[in-house]
Each structure stands twice: as C-alpha cells, then as structure tokens.
Amino acid sequence: MRLNPRGVWALYRYELSRTVRTIWQSVATPVITTALYFIVFGGAIGSRIHEVDGVSYGAFIVPGLIMLSLLTQSVSNASIGIFFPKFSGTIFEILSAPLSALEAVTAYVGAAATKSVVIGLIILATATLFVEVRIDHPLSMIAFLILTSIAFSLFGFIIGVWAKNFEQLAIIPSLIVTPLTFLGGAFYSIDMLPPFWRTASLFNPVVYLVSGFRWSFVGRGDVGVATSLGFTALFIVACLAILVWIFRTGWRLKP
C-alpha cells in the first residue's frame, strides 16, 4: 500500500490550526485552572497535609494536575476533531480522499495528542511558579506524557465517531473521564484509603496512568511502573482494534 504523507500532513496541520484560532480556550484556560487548583488544593489541603510519602503536597499533586488536563484535553480534542466533519457532512470528503483509515486516524489522533502534550508541558511550566517540581525520570515522564495522550486521543476519536449529537459528545468526558481522574489518585495516594476502597480503586484504569506518571516525577507510585506501562499499551491496542472494526464496517461513518 502506497503511503500518502502529504495528505496526512495536510490533515494534521489543519487540525492543529484550530488551536491557533482558539488560543485562549486551548492554552489560557488550562493555565488559569491549574493556578486555581494550586490555590485551592495547595493552600487549603496543603496546609493540613504537608507531605505524602516524603514529598511536599504541592509537588505531589503536580502529576495529577497534568494528567487531569491531559486526559480531558486528549478526549475533547480528538472527539471534536472527527465529530465536526460528521456533523457538517464533510466526513465524506475525508473518506473519499486518497487516505487510508490508518493515515486519517494518524492525522487526527496525532494532532490531538500533540496539542495535549503541549498543554501538559505548559501546565508543568505553570506548576514551577508555585512549587519546586522534582522530576526523577525525565525520559519516562515524556514517554508517559506521549503514550497517555495517544491512548486517550484514540479513545476520544472513538467517542467522536460514536456521538450523534453534542450531548453525547460531552457526556463521557464529563460524567466518566473527569470523575475517574479525581478518584484515580490525582490529588492523593490510594495507599491513604481504607483497605476496601484501595482495592476498589485498583479497578479504576486512571489509577495506573496517574501512578506511572507520578513515578516519573518522584520515583514512587501506587502501583508498579511496569504495570502502568502495560495497562497503557493494552488500552492503546484495544482502541486500535475498535477503530479497525469501525473503518472496516463504516459504523456511524457511512449511512
């Protein structure tokens, strides 16, 4: 099969251009939100919880804050990216273009993941204004940042294909992804929970993402780093399998 890198680049660049047109919503909002989280959580809770596992509470919540924005932004960017062509009817131009399914997904997911990674790094830079950020494993941090962005951009792409209206487009990020992130140890260690709730938390997939990402910062997490990487890889494979089925059957892409 002949690849079409120019087509992938054109679609990728078009998707990225939406960020420039909505710069305040795309960049300024996460920065302001991060500052508010530090003021509320760092000030109110941090004054009572000085350290978690030998790490200051302010530095402890940095990976969780980044992960919170990373998951929501990845899902939102990817789902909106594919939903609007469906909504406006231009999806048929993409399906009839000289692009394979893999190339189309690469462009959409790549653009969404790129925006999420950039926003994650901006939030990291913002966090350094409030606390002293420690990164024990910088290469692992970048790896988790990229892999998580790709995983949830793939998930967001699936949501965008599945959604028939704006209500469905917003329901999974707002009612599932965000609550799971808050309950996934973003602002606390699950080791602080009673045994029953700690065990229950292990069924929350976000726990593994936050734990691995936090390990790259402070050298420890709630679960093993290999387990976190394995879960992330499994999530990516599952999303890819669903997308293969979607494009083979044309489910909700073709009438």
DSSP the chain: ----HHHHHHHHHHHHHHHHHTHIIIIIHHHHHHHHHIIIIIIIITTT--EETTEEHHHHTHHHHHHHHHHHHHHHHHHHHHHHHHHHTTHHHHHHSS--HHHHHHHHHHHHHHHHHHHHHHHHHHHTTTS----S-HHHHHHHHHHHHHHHHHHHHHHHHH-SSHHHHHHHIIIIIHHHHHTTTSSS-GGGS-HHHHHHHTT-HHHHHHHHHHHHHHS--SS-HHHHHHHHHHHHHHHHHHHHHHHHHTTTT--
Tokens of 209: 């993402």
Cβ pair 218, 59 in contact under 8 A: yes
Q: Is the pLDDT of residue 255 over 70?
A: no
Give the pLDDT of residue 43: 66
Least confident of 31-35, 40-44, 166-170, 210-214: 40-44
Indicate the pLDDT class of residue 46, thresholds 50, 70 and 90: low
Do strands 55-56 and 51-52 pair parallel, antiparallel, or not at all (unpaired)? antiparallel
Q: Is the pTM of this model over 0.85?
A: yes
- Cβ-contact 85, 94 below 8 angstroms: yes
Q: CA 96 → CA 12, 90, 143, 221, distances in Å?
A: 17, 10, 34, 46
Asked whether residue 124 is assigned to any structural domain, the reply reads yes
254 found inside a domain: no
Query: Could you tell me the pLDDT band of residue 51, with boundaries at 50, 70 and 90?
Result: confident
- In this structure, is residue 255 part of a structural domain? no
The mean pLDDT value of the chain amounts to 87
Q: Tell me whether residue 88 is in a domain.
A: yes
Mean pLDDT to the nearest integer, 43-60: 76
Q: Structural domain of residue 104, as residue ranges?
A: 5-249
- Whether residue 203 lies inside any domain: the answer is yes
- Our count of domains for the chain comes to 1
Position 59 confidence tier, pLDDT thresholds 50, 70, 90: confident
Taking residue 31's Cβ as centre, other Cβ atoms within 10 Å add up to: 16
Pick the more confident residue, 95 or 205: 205
Q: What is the mean pLDDT of residues 111-136?
A: 90
- Domain presence at residue 151: yes
